[in-house]
Amino acid sequence: MIHYLYILFDKEGNFYIGRRSYKGTNVASDKYMGSSKNKTFLPIEKKIVSFANSLQELKRRERSLIMRFISNERCKNLTIPPVKDAWGTFKWITDGKKNIQIRDEEAIPEGFKLGRTNPFGNKHPTEGTKQWIKDGKTKRSIECPGPGWKLGSYYDESKNLNPKATLGMKWITNGVKNRLIKPTEMLEEGWKFGRIVN
């Protein structure tokens, strides 16, 4: 198997960086033109950049090259491939259009900043939007949607559990009932850690 790194170009000079593991013996006969998720990018030329001895090495080289050019407006890669074989912590960065996860020790490319953009556009609540609850249903709007709706918060009111209020608490059960206790509370006689599911 031949592992190689390539760059695709379109007629406007935009480019896409990719990798390929080819089963044939002659890379020149490989007509593969990439798998860009950007459907507006129509490649007309492919240039082979380098070869690698293993798939892991190829993935590292691809990631390194994309990191170098991701902030270039002509680069049509939408993401930086994650390094799945690496341990460590990661952070999200964005340029307002692309969201990328990089290692904590990696430098943030030019034009990017910490954080992520909303991948769903404006479908999520904006500033001033509130959640309203009626009969177990929820709606999000700035003003009350109508009679019977009351101001709620982002949790399932029927279970009466606000995730922020229960953070760090532990479930206990007596075999019949479940309840949450604070980490500092002692376990009462007849109770054990865990919960039963009905």
Q: Say how far apart CA 147 and CA 24 lie, in whole Å.
A: 69
67-109 confidence digits (pLDDT tens): 888 888 888 887 777 655 555 567 778 887 777 777 777 788 8
pTM here? Answer: 0.47
Beta bridge partners of 46: 8
Q: Mean pLDDT in the chain?
A: 76
Q: Which residues of the chain have pLDDT under 50?
A: 120-127, 154-159
Q: Say how far apart CA 87 and CA 183 lie, in whole Å.
A: 30
What pLDDT is attached to residue 142? 67
What pLDDT is attached to residue 157? 39
